[in-house]
Chains A and B, each alone.
Chain A
Amino acid sequence: MIANRVAALGVFAWRLEKMQMHNSFEVYARLYDVVSDNLIKNGKCSNYKKTTFLYNIMEHPQEIDVSRYLKLSNEDFLEAIYVAALKRLPDDRTRGFWAERFDLPTPQFQQEVLKSIADSSVVAINGIHLKNNPYFEQKCGLKYKALGRLYYLTDKSILRELGKKLPASIQKIIRKVFL
């Protein structure tokens, strides 16, 4: 009896959450359209896709729920999961590399993309976890832990100030590796 009530309460909470999320997504979708229209009026367009924006809404800062992204097309999956995990769009070279693989079967493509993200230094340094990943268990081995130690370098304002004094090209490399 108690178990049933708890279960019912859980379903209610889940539904309420879903309703709120649904409402939120509509608001965010409209917001994307407003910005997109303003860009178009000024002869520009957004490099971020609407799907990327909407899939990233409400994402946990460190734990990326991979299962949310699995139904996307290969192209949309690449961008959305990339932004979720690495907080930036893939650069032209990366996009070009993956564009040649858009025709791969979806599970193979997704697995390869996730593998490259899981192996990246940014993910290791910032302790980003890819959860509900149906393809493989994210390794948190020695490399991951060792790079994770470097997080404290990025979190130290004195080191950031020092970094700002380095040549622009070196700053660019540091940003790519750490941030």
Chain B
Amino acid sequence: MQIYIDVSVLTLATFVTGIQRVTREIAVRLIQIGGENIILLHYNAKENTYYRIDNKKFCDYYTKKKGIKSRMITSRRVPLGDIGEDAVFFDLDAAWMGRVKRSYLLPILKGQGARIVAHVYDIISITHPQYCLERGVYNFMDFIGAHLQYADDIIVNAEVTVDELRKLAIALKVELPICHVVPLGADFGEKEVVRSDQVPAELQRIVDDRPYILMVGTIEPRKNHKLVLDAYKVGLKDLGYNIIFAGNMGWNMEDFAIELRTHPDYNQRIFHLTGKNDQEISYLYQHARFLAFCSYMEGFGLPLIEGIMRGAVVVAADIPVSREVAGDYCVWFPQDNAQALCDAVLYYHKNEDEYLKRKEILKEFRCTTWEQCGELVRKVIMG
């Protein structure tokens, strides 16, 4: 059985973060398990054609940083007609950001007898559109509307998303495809402890300056970075903590960007780091006194798991999906309450023994590995 995966958004991405990072990990695992049965596709808009990607070059580029990205796209065209009976179209990437609308593509594939499996990371664009980029919401509506009608199976990463999909299917009066919960992997080189000589001196200097509260991820409205700034004002500063935001500045964050950059402590005690690689992010996790996770809504919350894996004590806003994936391994505070976040930090600030106990508990945490994730995804795909 041939498994077709459109990875056009990943191959054009300039930064491999978020969904593209997950797409990379799962695609590589599926190739490792399934070999030549996995057909990765790159869409060429000018020619309105999919081209096949060389699996080996794809893995070399994304796992060993070997080769040139554009050279992994071969000259072998893949007509849509090839994706018929005995084939699976697995929509793994953030396809709504690409040019081929799923409302156009899926009826064609379905009509040819292909099995359709979608990976739905979350439906925040539908349930909480106020936190999302408007064009993204518009494109996602097409994507999810098509999959709710044409997908045979949907893979999600948390039960919370199944509940949201169920509610949406009822509202749309469609039958919900079979949903499978597959937790994401989080073992991005977790066994390797990054040494200080492996990161730039400037990063070392920031890390060594004072104990710090870390936030990782694109700075976007739903991640609620502002709460940490507020908590800094109401107490974290006086407790002696620095703040480090690691992630690119996203959309609709102009006001926050101004507040951040005009803050008197900006680049003194409040830092915004961008373009950091996995090793540097690992280093930041390793040395963080706390990882703050303040999101209003998440599909899974990978930074939360990654923080736990690297031994960072996580103070997290109490939302259902974070509870589901991180259970007893976080210190919880009520959403949107800067004082409560500050109080949670204060408690462990005053009780070092409790803090160390927390650190010990984290060692018991076992995440899903990317191998396991890939295997579970494959099982769903194969039906």
Contact = CB atoms under 8 A, between A and B. Distances in A.
B11 A61 contact: no
Interface string B122-161: 0001111110001101100110110011000000000000
B130 A38 contact: yes
Interface stretch (A4-12, A100-108, A158-166): A158-166
Given A46-B134, A155-B44, A61 B14 contact: no
Contacts of A23: 149
Nearest to B127: A38
Interface in A96-149: 126-127, 148
A27 B174 contact: yes
Given A155-B46, A156-B70, A35 B141 contact: yes
Contacts, number: 118
Contacts of A43: 130
Interface residues of B, number: 41
Interface centre among A35, A46, A152 (most CB of B within 10 A): A35
Contacts of B125: 35
B128 A38 contact: yes
Contact of B126 (A35, A61, A62, A158): A35
B48 interface: yes
Given A61-B45, A88-B135, A127-B48, A157 B14 contact: yes
A23 B190 CA distance: 48
A26 B173 CA distance: 9
B129 A59 contact: no
A31 B130 contact: no
A69 interface: no
Given A39-B129, A59-B104, A127-B45, A27 B173 contact: yes
Contact of A157 (B11, B45, B104, B129): B11
B211 interface: no
A5 to B, nearest CB: 21
A133 to B, nearest CB: 18
Given A28-B141, A38-B127, A157-B12, A151 B45 contact: yes
Contacts of B104: 58-61
15 contacts: A24-B107, A30-B172, A35-B129, A38-B126, A39-B129, A42-B130, A56-B101, A59-B101, A60-B104, A61-B48, A62-B99, A87-B99, A155-B46, A160-B14, A164-B15
Given A60-B104, A88-B135, 16 more contacts: A24-B103, A31-B141, A43-B130, A47-B134, A56-B101, A57-B142, A57-B145, A58-B103, A59-B101, A61-B43, A127-B46, A151-B45, A152-B46, A157-B70, A158-B69, A160-B14
Interface of B: 11-15, 43-48, 68-70, 99-101, 103-104, 107, 125-130, 134-135, 137-138, 141-142, 144-145, 148-149, 168, 171-174
Interface of A: 20, 23-24, 26-28, 30-32, 34-35, 38-39, 42-44, 46-48, 53, 56-63, 87-89, 126-127, 148, 151-152, 155-158, 160-161, 163-164
